[in-house]
Chain A
Amino acid sequence: MKEQIKKSLLTLCLFIFMAGITVGSGYYKKSVSSERGSFIIALPAKKDNQEVLLNIAEQGLPKKLIQPNRISISSGHGGGIINRGNESLWVKVQTEGFLGKVQLESKDPSFNHETGVFSRPLKPNQSFNLAVNLTIPKGKLKGHTVTEGNIKLINSKDESLIGNIPVRIINSETDGIEDSTKNNDTNEACH
């Protein structure tokens, strides 16, 4: 009987312990959520979107050890580039000003990641998702402003700008004297 009670108590403790660990992992995830940038933009936008600001110093230890120089700025799984207008939009994505390699990704089958063009129109109240993945040269991570640039959304019919998302990546662990963006290594994607 005593053995049975001891066993049950141990089982209960393990259950509570694991539930606690899991909740703790949720808080950990929250603490490192700034490793990824996110944005939502309503098109056509009359002014620049809110700036996406990422701080490399806030990366979690695993990220710092394995992949500190690879950064993703995305609109999330559920869309994020939303057409709030009354007409369909033909969207093309361009980036400018970022250091290193820039890759564009979207789960939308109509997206060409090389040209940055969505081949199907974005109908009113529909959305596309987009991820802009940056590979910054490792030596350039030490400047206070690591890199800054823009994600531009262009109407591919008339080449007019219909949305702009400014992005700034900083490293608050440095003293702010060195500035990585002051060189000629900037790359632009999808012209």
Chain B
Amino acid sequence: MSSPAEAGSSYDGLRIRALNKSFASFHAVKELDLDVPRGSFFALLGPSGCGKTTTLRMVAGLEAPTSGTITLAGQDITDKKPYQRPVNTVFQNYALFPHLDIFENVAFGLRRRKVSGVEAKVKDMLELVELEAQARKKPAQLSGGQQQRVALARALINEPEVLLLDEPLGALDLKLRRAMQIEIKRIQTEVGLTFIHVTHDQEEAMTMADTVAVMNAGVIEQMGTPSELYENPASTFVANFLGQSNLIEGTVQSSGSDVVTVDMHGIGVTIPAHRAHTDGGKGWIGIRPEKVLIGAAGAELDAPGNTIPGGVVSDVSFFGVSTQYLVKMPWGQELMVFAQNTGRDPIFRTGESVELSWRPEYAFLLDHAQDVKAGAEEAS
């Protein structure tokens, strides 16, 4: 069936190769390569306009690629019509059929494919999403969260090779969103299908997905497990978009096979070689605010890293579980520090002199050519 030239013929997941999409004057997706393993929960994360929804729509067949191929379970589906693909979508605003009741909405795909045993299958599916009692209601009579579950059931019941979720929780309020995140994760584990989840919410992507691909301006910036991305970001965009980062200018002094030594405003700091993502002479030293330790000037800090003296607290925000400090460093930059309120240390006040420190294994080094503020505004 599959020709030998077919790139994805041996791969059983979703494979995207050199995918491009241009609109009139806008290059939405650029030379995208992506492998989504079968059965995984995959998140495409990025700010609005980064090309993630366009990518999803091309997988669904709702948008035709300008160039490139999409293969699914070894079959080239690039030119297939949406109704010919074993792919179903949970749309952003659910797109439930208002003239059909919940039962018929869920049964829609089965009826079009003339599958037998529709009644029993729909009943099972409604049970899975806990909507048995609503079967004869119209979508408009349901709450947002319930409509969301109908949309999920309507797509899931067809047992697609890949289920696409386009910002499925965007219209829900925060509390319901958290509950649905857990619910969708549970269902994915239960049915074992491949899920591709498009979202701009980094917390959502991190809590739900096995693998996250961070997308920006039409390309994938970095891909990995949520903890890999968070702990070892490879670009300033990922460092700023996923959580918050302190990025400090530094000059590389020596690059060994294990560690890279960087001069940071006169202080030598070391960074593990696998966490250094630059070859150049200059770089951005990155450290997450919760990895930074804070202590009174002259105090012994419980860290084997370098101590950076001369900080002055310029802002204190008390959150209860933690305190967020802004500390003005001698070179003029303000660094952010999250300190757990363990009660061991006093809470510093604005104007107090402090020292900062961190364990070298938590720091990372990024390419100085990248915009230090990339991704900071898009993350909200």
A binds B: no
